[in-house]
Amino acid sequence: MSPDPEPGPEYFEANLAYWQAAVPAHRRSEFYGIDEWIAEGAPPRPWEQAVLGDVAGLDLVHLQCHFGKDSLGWANAGARVVGVDFSPAAIDQAEELAERLGLSSRASFVVANVYEVPELLEPSSADLVYVSLGALMWLPSIDRWASVVAHLLRPGGRLFLHEVHPLGLIIDRSQDGWLLKGSYFETRDPMIETSEGSYTDGAESVGTYTTYAWNHSLSEVISALLRHGLALTHLEEHPWTSFARFPEMRGENERFETPADWVPMPLSYTLVAIRTS
């Protein structure tokens, strides 16, 4: 069983300060491309919809929803959506975007840390729990996260997770070649990074922040879900991710791939699990 660290609130407070600063830059960035997405009809990602099928009439909870683009894509496809994020700035933007799209009747948003969700949302209230790329690394305990997923899902309900691969999170490059930075497995102590800006264009206004993250191996994620009554129905590792993990990566439509002469490596993965009891 993976460790269950109880980090001090300073870790979450530091991460929240970063996300509060990043939200305005992300909202107007070409990376997220909100105006173009709206012009296309504000859809969910086609390849995600191919996995999940028709969501019309389903209750969907999006954990760590950021400013709600993915949440609203599913609402536009017919789901009743609740988006959850710990950043008040992100939720403000999500609500504004929902109003702009005319989706406020099908999408609502809650300011909360993921671990607080059982105190705020009813048990067995979701047909789908959706978690999109770059979410789990901000949580210290994958077991506690899995308990939240199980709390939300009705029997027969599904979890959809698309996440940075735990190997992709720690592999790095230097002039001497490849190296590993950090632990592949969940550890009590976080990975600490001090950086300027953010991962999108136009992020020079974000400033310099220190953030704290935790890796979770594939076996730790799967085992945690199994412990909490979910069964795995789909798992696929991808040699691409939705952002340029390395400067040499090129892509479009949120699929960035490494150069052809690099050794193929898993950079993200998709997982679907169903609550069996």
Tens digit of each residue's pLDDT (9 = 90 or more) over 255-270: 889 999 998 899 999 9
The pTM of the full predicted model, rounded to 2 decimals, is 0.93
Q: Over the stretch 218-231, which tens digit does the pLDDT of each residue have?
A: 999 999 999 999 99
Nearest to 107 by CA among 78, 127, 85: 78
Q: Does 1 fall in a domain?
A: no
pLDDT category, 1, cuts 50, 70, 90?
Answer: very low
HEC readout, 36-104: HHHHCCCCCCHHHHHHHCCCCCCEEEEECCCCCHHHHHHHHCCCEEEEEECCHHHHHHHHHHHHHHCCC
- pLDDT recorded at residue 3: 45
CATH number, domain of 116, equals 3.40.50.150
Burial letters 203-239, b for 16+ CB under 10 A, else e: beebeebebbbbbbbbebbbbbbeebbbeeeeeeebb
Q: Could you tell me if residue 27 is inside a domain? A: yes
For the segment 81-98, the average pLDDT, to the nearest whole number, is 98
2 found inside a domain = no
pLDDT digits (tens, 9 = 90+) for 25-60: 889 888 888 999 999 999 999 999 999 999 999 999
Residue 44 lies in a domain: yes
Q: Please give the share of the chain, as a percent, with pLDDT higher than 70.
A: 97
Give the pLDDT mean for 171-198: 88
Give the number of domains in the chain: 1
Banded pLDDT at 165 (limits 50, 70, 90): very high
- The Cα 208–Cα 21 span in angstroms is 10
In-domain check, residue 4? no
Residue 200: per-residue pLDDT: 79
Residue 29, in any domain of the structure: yes
Domain with 82 in it: 9-275
Which residues, including other chains, have CB under 8 Å from residue 188's CB and lie 6 or more apart?
Answer: 3, 5, 140
Which tens digit of pLDDT belongs to each residue from 128-152?
999 998 999 999 999 999 999 999 9
Long-range contacts formed by 35-44: CB under 8 A, 24+ apart: 37/69, 37/73, 38/100, 38/101, 41/76, 42/72, 42/73, 42/76, 42/101, 43/73, 43/76, 43/77, 44/70, 44/73, 44/74, 44/76, 44/77
226 belongs to a structural domain: yes
With 60 as the cut, is the pLDDT of residue 2 above it? no
Q: Would you state the pLDDT for residue 59?
A: 98
Answer yes or no: is 77 within a domain: yes
